[in-house]
Structure 1
């Protein structure tokens, strides 16, 4: 081989080696991102619970500032400090990776992928106990807490179940990544379903406190509902843009839906999944297409046909039910309204003012002086930080109650005197919840919970109010619902959503079953 050919050969080999090294480094950073960032910022870099992290959104940002933020975390958010968890070299490489990576294309996760992900932990469910293996008077006394874990994954990521009369933990289900939603089977009190931020669903036997099956339905997305007969689950994803109906017994996927359609501005879009909800009113699911501004009603019969309600609002997200599950109140972030939908007539009834970026959480409604009043919280990204109150029969705004900051999730109970709302401002106010008197519709008390106070929930009997003091407090705090005195606290790593088993009976938080009309 002559000298020139030898030089060219060596250069080619070095180039191939260098390309391979760069590709390997890129793959490593992609995996590092998936393992540490994706559960909050989205597996496609496009945002989820936290903002998008891609070269477009981070354009012009100082690499030093980004490195500092990763090292120290952000107190006012879910983000913990990564100093000590990641090396300085890893953090520097991550900053470069984020500032050079575009939002990734919508990845495929097919029904075959879902089937392949199905895991069975208890093959013969007849071997499970016939009654709870712990002291509890009524299964409705159970409260489930979705614990995120400090880094959104690890041993602290679990669903924790508490007897709300004794405030004792009676079971924990490890989920690997951050638990997000806990739903219960309306037809059989022994079954619960836990969905994580990385779209795994666990079927949980509440009698033995064991996970019996799990399936991965996507990469990110919290949406999940259970049908009134307990036969079906519907789950939706942010990534990819689809939803699936599962057999609630086996978790076998039965049908997938591509979430796409014409948005209120006339554009054809592929859409994230917003809320999914089953209803005691009928054998249907309702699902919000966040970006398409549509609500689909899926009938639970052969073929799972879909009725599409269009032009509901821009950027739909969460919702709650009223009128024994016949009416659906859906939050529209970008239009600052809550849209009322009649599920029987399958049409939009009215769009109600709801403050800035409404987020209704699990919803709250109370019956006062013969009227059923609904309460809507909002993120408060303008100066108008209010809780909206509507007459749910006339669908009129009754009052907008000034509160001390943005709010995320209201809680009420027929037997408790107050509607509780969590304050989510980026300062010490985030440690607080505010209590609204149901009769006067005025804020009468502010409680400093400690940590970041989120997701209040009443026990099934209405005697106690549970609040997550997470992200820096690492405990669930329990208050007497009448005196508002602290009763106890339960240690937990980054607790978030709280879900009473009693919801399967009253559906709308704040109304007893006979008040659902």
Structure 2
């Protein structure tokens, strides 16, 4: 089962696979890769959105499918393709979807990666020594992954904002939809942006330009940066592999085939889930979604791997606590969050987490002397809650009832509330609910307007950023104490925020 993020289901665009004869329609494969693959998977097996292939669409009416493609899906922000594609192209595309099986795992080798490497600034000594804009501290930079209407072209970019002043510092076009923004922990000038088509851009934040890029696969958002800033690790959904890159040059150093024995005893090839670098040690951690394993890779010699097995079924997202030593990873199908000790390289405990647990980038904050972690539940469940754990004792403190399925929690030491986005397919999707850190009760519901999702606090905790708008094309900023709305920013389908103060931890909030 793939992750199906409701509010990032806009059909995106992907780089083409090598042309193959998959359909009687001469352009059908190309149409799919250019308009559907980056969300639904280059292998037709699903990615951010559900799989589209002969098995999953069996019995579906071609007329109904054409209507969805033409009109889009309001629930998911999939845009209408009427006017972008001709009627003949839409008919050809639908026929292709209903006759094409899920494809075998395609190859994307280390040689393919090397061939895809592009250099935009050959001499980095020519770059400015200081930022070309006014900013007190680079930790105040917040990155916005903007997807654009169709996930390609002008709307697809990484936008960087001063989270104290809310002023845009610059933007970097990414060609296809940006998904992850990460930062070099030892050199504040470098950021790394990964797209849904698995292309990584090395970005100079001082001059706001990309200096290099490399394509690491066909689909897959996972990316982390090592604590010394020397390495990047990237994982893929398609194909089932991961790679370690030189963070300076983006040259690939070693690839890993993601496969192993799952919790049911079956040998499986696996998608990549989260990828995390930690300030605790010179290691990466990567989740094998389908194999139920977490691998810890040492950054020495030939990058040896320690395999932690039987973590859970359908692993996905995770966050770090306790100086980066403890890794909390969600298991969708087991309704647990597993705590892993990265020093001992073993499971500490499996904590109850409600149905389809989703921790997003995770939220952990010290409240009255104890470290509390907050996890959401992805999708519609009979009992929609936010789970609260004592991460010092590794026990459940409370499950807080909320008004619907939730995706991404946000907390900050200087903000009184934990913010969670409601992702139901009705008016509740306009809202973000605020949980008081001390009482652990929902005390306020913000009606942001349109679909409201991916809340994130500024570096100092004074402001709460929310992606909003019926078309996902606004950034809304609230005062985190008064909850007064500051401004709206038309940034074009922002899907997630990434703060420089989060360090080199992929989609992670670190509590020391």
User: Which range, TM-score by smaller chain?
Assistant: over 0.9
Match of 2:93 in 1: 94
Match of 2:171 in 1: 172
Aligned mates of 1:334, 1:401 — CA distance in 2: 21
Aligned mates of 2:506, 2:324 — CA distance in 1: 8
Match of 1:343 in 2: 342
Match of 2:37 in 1: 38
1:471, distance to aligned residue in structure 2 (A): 5.8
Deviations 1:166-220 (A, max 9, x none): 1111111101111000000011100000000000000000000000000000000
Measured at CA, do residues 508 and 292 of structure 1 come closer, stay the same or move farther in structure 2, by a change above 3 Å? closer
1:448, distance to aligned residue in structure 2 (A): 1.5
**After TM superposition, where is structure 1 displaced by more than 3 Å over at least 4 residues in a row?**
22-27, 505-511
Deviations 1:70-123 (A, max 9, x none): 111111113111111111111111111100000111000000000000000000
Measured at CA, do residues 224 and 509 of structure 1 come closer, stay the same or move farther in structure 2, by a change above 3 Å? closer
Contact 2:182 2:505 in 1 (8 A): no
Match of 1:404 in 2: 403
Match of 2:280 in 1: 281
Contact 1:321 1:508 in 2 (8 A): no
Once the two structures are superposed, the pairs formed by residues 437-476 of structure 1 within 5 Å of their partners are: 437-469=436-468, 472-476=471-475
Match of 1:371 in 2: 370
Aligned mates of 2:216, 2:243 — CA distance in 1: 7
1:386, distance to aligned residue in structure 2 (A): 0.4
1:378, distance to aligned residue in structure 2 (A): 1.1
Measured at CA, do residues 23 and 398 of structure 1 come closer, stay the same or move farther in structure 2, by a change above 3 Å? closer
Contact 1:380 1:386 in 2 (8 A): no
SS at match of 1:476: strand
SS at match of 1:445: strand
Match of 1:56 in 2: 55
Aligned mates of 1:23, 1:379 — CA distance in 2: 34
1:321 maps to 2:317: no
Match of 2:11 in 1: none
Aligned mates of 2:223, 2:23 — CA distance in 1: 36
Aligned mates of 1:187, 1:232 — CA distance in 2: 12
Aligned mates of 2:164, 2:406 — CA distance in 1: 28
Match of 2:421 in 1: 422
Contact 1:293 1:312 in 2 (8 A): yes
Backbone CA RMSD of aligned residues: 1.5
Measured at CA, do residues 329 and 470 of structure 1 come closer, stay the same or move farther in structure 2, by a change above 3 Å? farther
Match of 1:16 in 2: none
Match of 1:19 in 2: none
Aligned mates of 2:481, 2:508 — CA distance in 1: 17
Match of 1:70 in 2: 69
Contact 1:80 1:151 in 2 (8 A): yes
Q: TM-score, with normalisation over the residues of structure 1?
A: 0.93
Aligned mates of 1:376, 1:385 — CA distance in 2: 11
1:381, distance to aligned residue in structure 2 (A): 3.2
1:198 maps to 2:197: yes
Once the two structures are superposed, the pairs formed by residues 134-283 of structure 1 within 5 Å of their partners are: 134-283=133-282
Match of 2:304 in 1: 305
Aligned mates of 1:465, 1:435 — CA distance in 2: 11
Match of 1:6 in 2: none
SS at match of 2:383: coil
Measured at CA, do residues 508 and 66 of structure 1 come closer, stay the same or move farther in structure 2, by a change above 3 Å? closer
1:428, distance to aligned residue in structure 2 (A): 1.4
Relative CO higher for 1 or 2, CA cutoff 8 Å, sep ≥ 6? 2
Aligned mates of 1:304, 1:484 — CA distance in 2: 47
Deviations 1:322-344 (A, max 9, x none): 10000000010111110000000
Paired residues in the alignment total: 492
Aligned mates of 2:175, 2:226 — CA distance in 1: 26
Q: Which region of structure 1 is more displaced relative to structure 2, 277-286 or 469-478? A: 469-478
SS at match of 2:122: coil
Greater Rg over alpha carbons, structure = 1
Aligned mates of 2:449, 2:56 — CA distance in 1: 33
Match of 2:477 in 1: 478
Once the two structures are superposed, the pairs formed by residues 105-144 of structure 1 within 5 Å of their partners are: 105-144=104-143
Q: TM-score, with normalisation over the residues of structure 2?
A: 0.94
Measured at CA, do residues 275 and 506 of structure 1 come closer, stay the same or move farther in structure 2, by a change above 3 Å? closer
Aligned mates of 1:152, 1:104 — CA distance in 2: 23
Measured at CA, do residues 508 and 364 of structure 1 come closer, stay the same or move farther in structure 2, by a change above 3 Å? farther
Aligned mates of 1:220, 1:505 — CA distance in 2: 21
1:248, distance to aligned residue in structure 2 (A): 0.2
Aligned mates of 2:25, 2:65 — CA distance in 1: 19
SS at match of 1:359: strand
SS at match of 2:358: coil
1:427, distance to aligned residue in structure 2 (A): 1.1
Match of 1:5 in 2: none
1:490, distance to aligned residue in structure 2 (A): 1.1
Q: Which region of structure 1 is more displaced relative to structure 2, 471-480 or 160-169? A: 471-480
1:503 maps to 2:502: yes
1:380, distance to aligned residue in structure 2 (A): 3.8
Contact 1:330 1:340 in 2 (8 A): yes
Contact 1:29 1:97 in 2 (8 A): yes
Match of 1:490 in 2: 489
Deviations 1:221-249 (A, max 9, x none): 00000000000000000000000000000
Structure 1: gaps spanning 5 or more residues: 1-21
Match of 2:9 in 1: none
Aligned mates of 1:506, 1:158 — CA distance in 2: 21
1:26, distance to aligned residue in structure 2 (A): 3.4
